[in-house]
Amino acid sequence: MQTHTISWNGHRLDLGRRTLIMGVVNVTPDSFSDGGKFYSYKDAVAQGLKLTEEGADIIDIGGESTRPYSDEVPEEEEIRRVVPVIKELSGQIAIPISIDTTKAGVARQAIEAGASIVNDISALRFDDEMAGTVSYYEVPVILMHMLGTPKTMQVAPKYDNIVQKIKTFLEKAVKRAEKGQIRRSKVILDPGIGFGKTVENNFELIDRLDEFQTLGLPILIGPSRKSFIRNLLKKKNGNNIFPDSQMLETGTQAAVAAAILRGAHIIRVHDVANTFATVKIIDAIKGA
């Protein structure tokens, strides 16, 4: 297992010595994963504090749903949703806060409010100013693979060799970051589970996650409550499975365990308490 250390602005992530947990707070009315439970400022702040207490190492805050076929949210609205939450949380928790956005304007406002990581699902492709923003503030950036945009990504995705295709994409994304004066030592990679992949693609990606180690950078993976788990379980159950159902959470934890065993450094999830237990056990098995 490769180890990496990212130090910046009073924060430090030791990656690979143990698996880190990123807790998700969606400040959106239409999230696929929690149905808008944390859309209000009060509920979002409370959820961020709860996830921190349960053992999160990073809190990831997003103000735009990236579910398949979703529409883009105007920058002003995204800022209105996330900035007050980040400002309040940053004054109460010591762990890093990540801003999940593809817009440089949102990233700037979020960092000024207290965020210290940029999680860009577009891998710096949607906003020409994003690389410069990340570089200026000297914060880490998460670069993710996605086909097209959230609105188009699930329209018949197809790959000849999915791992090689994604590795090539991520290599180009790293070069894009370096060209924008972002230090390689501050880059984290995400193969993009559920973003332009079939059910089978997602399972294959988790099974072959160790092949991304050749890129020499930390790997983040986000299988939590994704439709590939839901669709597989639905075939067996015969009924629709809701985002907060126990069956879906059990399926998520199975995917989390497999991802850790295949070399994931950071797991992005909605249920930190259950993931904390999974991580403890799987890390102990790996270290035995």
State the pLDDT at residue 271.
96
pLDDT in tens, 202-255: 999 999 999 999 999 999 999 999 999 998 998 666 677 877 789 999 999 999
Residues 7-12: contacts with CB within 8 Å, 24+ apart?
Answer: 8/116, 8/138, 8/139, 8/140, 8/186, 9/116, 9/138, 9/139, 11/96, 11/116
pLDDT in tens, 120-159: 999 999 999 999 999 999 999 999 999 876 666 576 678 8
In the set 197, 225, 226, 262, the catalytic residue is 226
State the pLDDT at residue 239.
72
pLDDT at 116 over 90: yes
State the pLDDT at residue 237.
61
State the pLDDT at residue 199.
92
Is 236 an active-site residue? no
Please give the C-alpha separations between residue 50 and each of 10, 54, 99, 179, 282, in angstroms, as whole numbers: 23, 6, 18, 38, 23
pLDDT in tens, 240-268: 787 778 999 999 999 999 999 999 999 99
State the pLDDT at residue 253.
98
In the set 108, 186, 230, 268, the catalytic residue is 268
**Overall average pLDDT of the 279-283 stretch:** 98
- Report the amino acid identity of residue 126: F
Domain boundaries, the chain: 4-287
State the pLDDT at residue 132.
98
- Say which residue the tokens 């329209």 belong to: 155
pLDDT in tens, 66-106: 766 667 899 999 999 999 999 999 999 999 999 999 999 99
pLDDT in tens, 39-72: 688 999 999 999 999 999 999 999 998 766 667 8
Per-residue pLDDT band for 34 (boundaries 50, 70, 90) equals low
From 3.40.50.2030, 3.20.20.20, 3.30.70.930, 3.40.50.200, which CATH number describes the 4-287 domain?
A: 3.20.20.20
- The separation between the first and the last C-alpha atoms of the chain, rounded to the nearest angstrom, is 14
Q: Please, are residues 223 and 202 in contact by the beta-carbon 8 Å criterion?
A: yes
- Residues pairing with 144 in the sheet: 190
Please give the C-alpha separations between residue 113 and each of 69, 140, 286, in angstroms, as whole numbers: 30, 16, 38
Is 268 an active-site residue? yes
